[in-house]
Structure 1
Amino acid sequence: MLVMFNCMDKENQQNKRFEVLKDHLLWVENNMSAIKVAGPQLHPHSDRIIGSFYIIEADSIEDAHMLFQTDPYYIAGIWKVVSTAEFKGYAGTWVGGKNWPEF
């Protein structure tokens, strides 16, 4: 299953993000097989990072959470809000076109 994590930063987390960046990127590299897409969310009118977005593949939402909670950014407490939901990749170039179920 695919699990989406939409993470919005607390105020003024840029310095903490950069302090933990090396460990975070190592975590990403070590978990690349489970991470289907991940990256920063940017403020619409600047290059300032305001959050992170992940789609993680796991056997269950609980397993995805257990992996996600080992991310150094999570451990550093930079996020104010984290929304989680199962994700269905039914269409788009990243999922190979259209993949929705037959009706």
Structure 2
Amino acid sequence: MLFTIHCLDGDDGAERRTEQMAAHSARLRTASPKPLVYGPLLSDDGERGIGSLFIVDVPDRAAALEWIDADPFRTGGVWQEVRVHRFRQSANAPVQLPVETD
């Protein structure tokens, strides 16, 4: 099942983000399962990170929460708010994510 994980930084997120970046990046290279899509959320001017967005293919919501809770940005206090939602890609989307079917 696909889940989106939408994370917003806290007030001191920029400082904490800098401190945790190497560990966060290393985890994304080795995480299991690997996220299908991920990247930073940016301020309107594109100058600073304000959060992160992931799409992961995991068995259930509990697995999505377990996956994100292990991230150094989560354990290091970068993200103030984390929202997890089940997601179904449209068959009409111009790009299709590679997901396992039941």
Instruction: Name the TM-score class by shorter chain.
Output: 0.7 to 0.9
Letter in 2 for 1:95: Q
TM-score (norm 2): 0.85
Residue 94 of structure 1 corresponds to 95
Instruction: Report if the CA contact (8 A) 1:6-1:54 is conserved.
Output: yes
Residue 45 of structure 1 corresponds to 45
Deviations 1:20-61 (A, max 9, x none): 111101100012643011110000124111111011110111
**Segment drifting more, 68-77 vs 29-38:** 29-38
Instruction: Report if the CA contact (8 A) 1:6-1:83 is conserved.
Output: yes
| Alpha-carbon distance between aligned partners in 2 of 1:45 and 1:17, rounded to the nearest angstrom | 18
TM-score (norm 1): 0.84
| Alpha-carbon distance between aligned partners in 1 of 2:68 and 2:60, rounded to the nearest angstrom | 12
Residue ranges of structure 2 left out of the alignment (5+ in a row): 98-102
Residue ranges of structure 1 left out of the alignment (5+ in a row): 97-103
Residue 55 of structure 2 corresponds to 55
Deviations 1:59-94 (A, max 9, x none): 111111111111110101111211111011114333
| Alpha-carbon distance between aligned partners in 1 of 2:26 and 2:95, rounded to the nearest angstrom | 24
| Alpha-carbon distance between aligned partners in 2 of 1:68 and 1:12, rounded to the nearest angstrom | 20
What is the RMSD of the two structures over their aligned residues, measured on CA atoms?
A: 1.6
Find runs of 4+ consecutive structure 1 residues off by over 4 angstroms.
none
- Which has the greater radius of gyration? 1
